[in-house]
Amino acid sequence: MLTVPYKEIRPQEARKLHEQNTLFVDVREPEEFAQMRIAGAQPIPLSELAGRFGEIPKGQPVVLYCRSAQAAAWLAAKGYSNLLNLDGGIMAWYQAGLAYEGFAVGKLVGGIQGYPLERPAAVKPEEVPCS
């Protein structure tokens, strides 16, 4: 059986590491990082990782997030041994209600088909905010 080169962690575990000042590396592209990020995270876009991975110290825990499974596997092959991958990325972090910097703006995808709607009877005229 192959050894997993990195460990998946949930947002709450990542939060504890964040509180302990563990290095967080955001491998998304700069415009995504500019819009929203985890405080203190170091931006190293996936596209630049091959040239910049030396900025990441070896021998200490590193949390990678967003499209980071690929980055984690690549770094593991370069000899990094204490890699943690935030499962679900910054969206899981956001959904868990954890603090972030920037703007949380975007779309809900996947369609709402099949989810219950309120019946029209539930539309009470007195709640209508306009006359």
Partner 1 sequence: MNLSVKTAYHQLERFQVVDVREPEEWAEGLLPGALRLPLSRLEALAPLYLERDKPVLLYCRSGNRSQEALKKLQNLGHPQVWHLEGGLPCTSPV
Q: Would you please indicate which residues are annotated as catalytic (active-site) residues? A: 66
Reported residue count of the chain is 131
Question: Closer CB to partner 1, residue 1 or residue 128?
Answer: 128
Which lies closer to partner 1 via its Cβ, residue 53 or residue 94?
94
Indicate which single residue of 1, 79, 105, 126 sits in contact with partner 1 (rule: CB under 8 A).
105
Q: Tell me: does residue 30 bind partner 1 (CB under 8 A).
A: no
Task: State in angstroms the smallest separation of the CB of 97 from partner 1.
Answer: 7
Q: For residue 99, how far is the Cα from the chain centroid?
A: 12
DSSP one-letter string for 24-77: EEE-S-HHHHHHEE-TTPEE--GGGHHHHGGGSPSSS-EEEESSHHHHHHHHHH
Residues in contact with partner 1 by CB under 8 A are 32, 35-36, 90-91, 94-95, 97, 103-113, 115-120, 122-123, 127-130
